[in-house]
Structure 1
Amino acid sequence: MIAKTFSGLEEVMASELRSLGAKDVQPLKRAASFTGDQSMLYRVNLWSRAALSILRPMFEFQFETQQEFYENMREFKWDAFFSVDKSFAISTVAIQSVFTNTHFLAQRSKDAIVDYFRDATNARPDVNIENPDIKINVYVFKNSCSISLDSSGMPLFKRGYRKQAGPAPLNEVLAAGLIMLSGWDKQQAFYDPMCGSGTFSIEAAMMALNMAPATFRKDFSFTHWQDHDESLWQSLREEAAAAQLNTVPHIEASDLSNKSMAGARQNIMEAGLLGRIRLEKKDFFLSKPSQSRGHLILNPPYGRRIENENIQEFYQKIGSTFKHNYPGFHAWIISPDQTLTHKIGLKPIAKHSVFNGQLDCTFLGYKIYEGSKKPAKRPRL
């Protein structure tokens, strides 16, 4: 099976799969492969914080022409995996192929599946691009084709708690992945200044509570498969509910924007985390943390995301605030512009390359020392 994730989170994805009990885990480009049974497929969909979707490979074949591709697709026994009353959609990738147009590749794939069902059942399944029961992944490289079923359906970052989003909301999977990359131990105080819609804080609280990230999800594509085991699925959900903890460390989300505060509050409420996350309207640059030690992750505005006339000065103030207001903290920041992060003026202890949407970003970690880290000069005699 394949767990898809963001570029930069492959090792996080692999580590998470191992922790869930998956076997033969191998990091790939923007993914990790693993083996497991039906229970593992369900478990990863329920528990993975770093995965975007979970694919189950179905079959592979070789072809030379577009017609030969169609014939191979049509011969596959699709009704062994889903029934004619289920809607479906197809996603395609074609690299160095006779299919130079992925839309045409999707069309030929659809034709083959519909024609198979029409021959086998005298009926045809509907195509539903927006909300299909079944999602089929067609990957073509040169003259090789791999067909997979997307077990997740909607991407797994759609946790179900986000009802309000700011002008540039952070993807939930990316937020969770960055928290895991940062090494937060789920016990130290966690600060989310410039919180926007509250994604970092919500993901951190769910981790600390051992709350399955798919707790609020209503639908998965695998529930529409022919071999779906509803009793197994419900037992895993009940097991996840029973595994939740009752306490969290100090988790604080703050922002200067009234609109962000209102959106974050609604999202926190939808996640059932009111009272677990402290929400305050305040200026990051003018406030100090209530805890003497902790963990901080910052997703500040930057030129391509939010207009800021004095963006370089803004980043200089971030470095100054880290140094003077957060001694004893581990502070992390994500930014697409290294010329800006250089303005922070601190030496990072860790650096990771990640993608935030289409932006190639750097995720930097700092250990903030009290006073100067440089040894005092010895007086001359």
Structure 2
Amino acid sequence: MEKFKLVATTAMGLESIVADEVKALGFKTTSDNGKVYFEGDTAAIAKTNMWLRVADRVRIIVGEFHADTFDDLFEQTKAIRWEQFLSVDAAFPVAGKSVKSILYSVPDCQAIVKKAIVERLKIAYNRTGFLDETGPLYKLEVSILKDKVTLTIDSSGVGLHKRGYRVGQGDAPLKETMAAALVKLTRWNPDRPFIDPVCGSGTIAIEAAMIGQNIAPGTNRDFLSEQWPWMETSVWEQVREEVEDVAKRDLILDITGSDYDPELIRIAQGNAAQAGFTGLINWQVQDLRDLTLNGSNGVMVGNPPYGERLGELEDAEQLTQDLGQLMKKYPSWSVYMLSSLENFEEMYGKKATKKRKLFNGFIRTDLYQYWGKRK
């Protein structure tokens, strides 16, 4: 089967986690800023879309070349065998971006790439006049970095963080991909208790449950490449069959999500039910200061309020202080908190075992890690 050059895109700082996920599926990788490259056939496209928990999208790299004039861009784009990917009736909008390049006008680059592909398809399919673009959708992107052009097709469609279970959310929801990354960074396993004490709409706890029961994150959603004629239906059927074969839906997990806001807990329960986890996760309306942790060697993961808005900084600092006091009672538990507070360790009352820089959207944060003394 034909092999494609593929790239899984991800938030900065999460490349190593995505690379590990891709390797676990059987592919060799190389990484760059926000990108993990690998090669594979149509089954690889289906499998990575279905299984990657932390990646944003899986793109097919159709062409790479240097261009410093619009003529270069046109001719080299036109030389690519687009008919291998696009049917005669394909709809193919072109998005674009340009960084530190001579060809800096993104709208012009998009228009030229579009025109070049149209010309190529007219020749390939022996057509004159307009192409009607009423068929399957292919989302193309022209990306130019330091005059190097990369042309890609998005195989995912809606971003991979859209698992299909979030029917409600709070004010500042954490992306599902970032929540999964936080759980993976703890190296938690289903034999240990797990809690998010500031769970909001429940994303971290739900992602932990999916990991614990080995449920593929793409189980309850569709992907854009499923519509493409050359992506065989049998490939998707086989991948979905394998997903069900390895799922451990009967595995009992000790996962708790708690929050002081009853409305957020109600939303979290609805999201969990949509994900198929009714009754699996223990949801509690609980103030952090009144929290009691059961069991030992547990893992606590949270994304507490950052205090970004005026007047909320003191509340965020107080919450961190309360958390530090609480966890003195549970030395065997490990704590992982994502925060933008520069004085987090001071407020917590203890220097972190390890810190990891991560970007939550456009907010620069640190994951503060306090490793417990295992019993």
TM-score w.r.t. length of structure 1: 0.89
* 1:21 and 2:26 are equivalent in the alignment: yes
Structure 2: which amino acid aligns with 1:288?
T
Match of 1:4 in 2: 9
* 1:271 and 2:275 are equivalent in the alignment: yes
Contact 2:345–2:351 under 8 Å retained in 1: no
Match of 1:109 in 2: 113
SS at match of 1:227: coil
Give, in whole Å, the separation in 2 of the partners of 1:18 and 1:11.
10
Give, in whole Å, the separation in 1 of the partners of 2:78 and 2:227.
21
What is the aligned counterpart of 1:86 among 76, 90, 93? Answer: 90
Match of 2:298 in 1: 294
Contact 2:297–2:372 under 8 Å retained in 1: no
Match of 2:160 in 1: 156
Aligned in 2, Cα 1:136/1:307: closer, same or farther, shift over 3 Å?
farther
Match of 2:73 in 1: 69
- Residue by residue over 1:197-235, the C-alpha shift from the partner in whole angstroms, topping out at 9 and shown as x without a partner, is 1000110000111100000112x2222334211101111
Aligned-pair CA distance for 1:104? 2.7
- Residue by residue over 1:279-314, the C-alpha shift from the partner in whole angstroms, topping out at 9 and shown as x without a partner, is 111111112123233111011112116952433233
Q: Equivalent residues in 2 for 1:361-380 (5 A)?
A: 361-368=365-372
Give, in whole Å, the separation in 1 of the partners of 2:236 and 2:203.
27
What is the aligned counterpart of 2:131 among 111, 116, 124? Answer: 124
Give, in whole Å, the separation in 2 of the partners of 1:201 and 1:328.
20
Structure 1: which amino acid aligns with 2:233?
E
What is the aligned counterpart of 2:319 among 314, 328, 333? Answer: 314
TM-score w.r.t. length of structure 2: 0.90
Give, in whole Å, the separation in 2 of the partners of 1:311 and 1:91.
39
Aligned in 2, Cα 1:228/1:76: closer, same or farther, shift over 3 Å?
same
Contact 1:115–1:124 under 8 Å retained in 2: no
Give, in whole Å, the separation in 2 of the partners of 1:136 and 1:316.
48
Match of 2:234 in 1: 231
Contact 2:304–2:316 under 8 Å retained in 1: no
Structure 1: which amino acid aligns with 2:211?
M
Aligned-pair CA distance for 1:30? 1.2
- Residue segments in structure 2 that go unaligned for 5+ positions in a row: 1-5
Relative to structure 2, which stretch is displaced further, 193-202 or 285-294?
A: 285-294
* 1:144 and 2:148 are equivalent in the alignment: yes
SS at match of 1:338: coil
Aligned-pair CA distance for 1:146? 1.8
Aligned-pair CA distance for 1:45? 0.9
- Residue by residue over 1:143-197, the C-alpha shift from the partner in whole angstroms, topping out at 9 and shown as x without a partner, is 4322122211211111111111110000001110111112212321110111011
Structure 1: which amino acid aligns with 2:66?
Q
Contact 1:133–1:153 under 8 Å retained in 2: no
Contact 1:89–1:127 under 8 Å retained in 2: no
Match of 1:330 in 2: 334
Aligned in 2, Cα 1:12/1:319: closer, same or farther, shift over 3 Å?
same
Give, in whole Å, the separation in 2 of the partners of 1:272 and 1:307.
38
What is the aligned counterpart of 2:201 among 175, 193, 197? Answer: 197
SS at match of 2:65: strand
Structure 2: which amino acid aligns with 1:14?
A
Q: CA RMSD in A?
A: 2.2
- Residue segments in structure 1 that go unaligned for 5+ positions in a row: 371-381
Aligned in 2, Cα 1:261/1:142: closer, same or farther, shift over 3 Å?
same
Match of 2:3 in 1: none
Give, in whole Å, the separation in 2 of the partners of 1:94 and 1:63.
12
Match of 1:44 in 2: 48
Aligned in 2, Cα 1:68/1:27: closer, same or farther, shift over 3 Å?
closer
Contact 2:345–2:352 under 8 Å retained in 1: no
Give, in whole Å, the separation in 2 of the partners of 1:96 and 1:256.
47
Give, in whole Å, the separation in 1 of the partners of 2:292 and 2:338.
21
